[in-house]
Structure 1
Amino acid sequence: MCNLLVLSFLLIFLPSLSTADVGTASSYGPPFLPTVCFGGDESQFPPDNLFAAAGEGIWDNGASCGRQYIVRCLSSATPDACVEGQRVQIVVVDRATELHSTPSSYGTTLVLSRRAYGLIAKQTVDEINIEFTQV
């Protein structure tokens, strides 16, 4: 009977506790021109430069513009690429396929500003595996 109660609890409550998605991230640098989301209005960038461009997997026909995510580095093909225990909160300001500067890797879930990327991973690594949660 006790095992049945524990199993019932796990089936009911665990799915709601696990809301993070996994994907990949790369980085990009200037020029930062948010042409897709904000029509080139650079004042839309957060003052702390913690922003990203959405990859096609989360672009959602433009609905991702302005969304905020908490991002954490999980791993990389390069050993010790992640800054352990660090998370960064970013806002989506552009679409990855429309960037004016070259990302460090193409086809990733998020292309983070260099500042945001550098807070969770080594800048010398082109691509990382991430966990991200919409805020």
Structure 2
Amino acid sequence: MGVEMQLVCVVVAMVACLPLVAYADEGTATFYTPPYVPSSCNGLKNDGVMIAAASSAIWDNRGACGRRYRVKCTGATNQGVPKPCKGNSVVVKIVDFCPPGCRGTIDLSQEAFAAIANPDAGKIKIEFTEV
């Protein structure tokens, strides 16, 4: 095998070993409490509790209905709760619209918020990725 071919094999092997990097969007999350129906997307259909309302930033003129997002807490938005994050993520389904004046990019159900952060925080920094 020639030197050029060996070099090509080494470069290909190095590229193949690079980790795949997925980039998440950043924003904030708040939460809302039951009842969760009716919703803007599904009317009186009960979609469970791992749900969220989309702000105008991701609403997409109802296009967000049914989309699923993996949401992870990345930090506090205020000094009140210095370490609100629990270190895990949750997947939620968009079922509603958080109207203008919404305080977060995604308004999680109370249960979804509590799965990733201390509810006492009220509002958290997040990373979110459509799944």
- Structure 2 portions without partners, runs of 5+: 1-10
What aligned pairs does 1:67-86 form with structure 2 within 5 A after superposition? 67-76=67-76, 77=78, 78-84=81-87, 86=88
Give the TM-score normalised by structure 1: 0.76
Aligned counterpart, 2:44: 41
Contact 1:74/1:129 (<8 A) preserved: yes
Percent of residue pairs bearing the same amino acid type: 36
Q: CA deviation at 1:31?
A: 1.9
Structure 2 counterparts to residues 1-135 of structure 1, below 5 A: 17-38=21-42, 40-43=43-46, 45-46=47-48, 49-76=49-76, 77=78, 78-84=81-87, 86-97=88-99, 106-135=102-131
Tell which structure's C-alpha radius of gyration is larger: 2
Higher helix proportion (structure 1 or 2) = 1
Residues 72 and 87 of structure 1 are in contact (CA less than 8 Å); yes or no, is this contact kept in structure 2?
Answer: yes
Q: CA RMSD in A?
A: 2.4
Where do 4+ consecutive residues of structure 1 move more than 4 Å?
A: none
Distance 1:91 1:24 in 2: 16
Aligned length: 116
Task: Please list every run of 5 or more consecutive structure 1 residues that lacks an aligned counterpart in the other structure.
Answer: 99-104
